[in-house]
Amino acid sequence: MSRDGRNWQFEIRNLMNIKDSNFQFPISNFKRMDAISFIFFLIVIIPSAILHEYMHGWVAYQLGDPTAELQGRLTLDPRVHIDKFGTILLPLLMLLVGFATGSYFLFAYAKPVPYNPYNLKNQKWGPAAVAAAGPLSNFALALVFGLMMQFLPLTATMSGLFAVVVYANVLLAVFNLVPIPPLDGSKVLYAVLPDSMWKVRQTLEQYGMIILLVFIFFLFDLILPIISWLFVLFTGGGGLF
């Protein structure tokens, strides 16, 4: 087992600059990262987002759509997935805001992998499978690092770093499964909605970005219990909550 008492939790406190005596990794403390923590989290979240996008293209290719391959996106080479604004400028801007305000919050994304839904073999479930592939890849990555935390003889520091990887990927997966366009969860929702509810889809498509912004700024806390539960599940708990 990798845990040495609560030492690895202490390392995460140091990493995330958490001062509370009642430790809840970093679900409730994420907005209080320092600059070094912010940079490390960014180093973790960007390759996780790239894997997420790659898996969209890979599943689409398996289901008959070669768009990602034809456009050179069916690769894990980070250079083709980096979005100048979402992967570079936005995190840097948020880092500068953090320097000015002392409160760091991270949001970053990779360039979406294109696909043509009309090329998919299954027109009803194909888009949902392509959409779900991204979050599932993040869950898989979280599971791998969580199992290593539980069963490898890691130092407290390494366990703390691995815990950040688990959290970052759980966060990325759960957020993308929210059923609001353009997030992946909306494609899954469309696959299960009956045809009689076409107005729901129409409304979501029309006002999706507005609804998403409202969710991010005012309703994001609704998914924190899910993120918390999955983090504990993947890491084996360890008395975190």
pLDDT, tens digit (0-9, with 9 covering 90-100), for 217-237: 889 889 989 999 999 999 987
User: Which residue in the block uniquely carries the two structure tokens 């140091």?
Assistant: 14
Which secondary-structure segment (H or E) carries 124? none
Task: Tell me 183's DSSP state.
Answer: S
Answer yes or no: is pLDDT of 48 > 50. yes
Asked if 205 is an active-site residue, the reply is no
d(CA 102, CA 11): 21
84-88, 92-96, 192-196: least confidently modelled range: 92-96
Cβ count within 10 A of residue 19 = 9
Q: How many CB atoms lie within 10 A of CB 157?
A: 15
Q: Is the pLDDT of residue 95 over 90?
A: no
Residues 6+ away with beta carbon under 8 Å from 6: 238, 239
DSSP at 17: T
pLDDT at 121 > cutoff 90: yes
Q: Which of the four pLDDT bands, split at 50, 70 and 90, describes residue 103?
A: low
Of residues 14 and 97, more confidence is placed in 97
Q: Which of 1-5, 54-58, 195-199 is predicted least confidently?
A: 1-5
Which residue out of 11, 53, 69, 205 is catalytically annotated?
53
Mean pLDDT, range 79-83, rounded to an integer: 89
pLDDT of 35 reads 63
Q: Is 33 helix (H, G, I), strand (E, B) or coil?
A: strand
Average pLDDT on 46-69 reads 95
Residue 33 has pLDDT above 70, yes or no: no
Strand, helix or coil at 229? helix
pLDDT at position 160 over 70: yes
C-alpha distances (whole Å) from 41 to each of 30, 106, 107, 108, 166 are: 10, 8, 10, 10, 11
Tell me: pLDDT of 12 over 60. no
Q: Does the pLDDT value for residue 173 go beyond 90?
A: yes
One-letter amino acid at 162 equals F
Residue 127 to residue 94: CA distance in whole angstroms: 33
Give residue-wise pLDDT tens across range 174-204: 999 999 999 999 999 999 999 899 999 999 9
Q: What pLDDT does residue 110 have?
A: 86
What whole-number distance in Å separates Cα of residue 185 and Cα of residue 177?
Answer: 4
Tabulate helix, strand, coil % of the chain (nearest 5).
Answer: 70, 0, 30
CB contact at 8 A, 109 and 86 = yes
Report the C-alpha gap between 189 and 205 in whole angstroms.
12
Residue environment code for 56-65, b if the CB has 16+ CB neighbours within 10 A, otherwise e: bbbbbbebeb
**What is d(CA 103, CA 48) in angstroms, rounded to the nearest whole number?**
23
Which residue in 207, 227, 211 sits closest to 219, CA to CA?
Answer: 211
What would the mean pLDDT of 46-52 be, rounded to a whole number? 92
Q: Are 231 and 25 in contact (CB under 8 A)?
A: yes
pLDDT of 156 higher than 90: no
Asked if residue 120 has pLDDT above 70, the reply is yes
Average pLDDT of every residue of the chain = 82
Tokens of 230: 């999955």
Rounded average pLDDT over 147-164: 89
Q: What number is the average pLDDT over the span 98-114?
A: 75
pLDDT band at 80 (very low <50, low <70, confident <90, very high): very high
Flag whether pLDDT at 99 surpasses 90: no
Average pLDDT (44-63) is 94
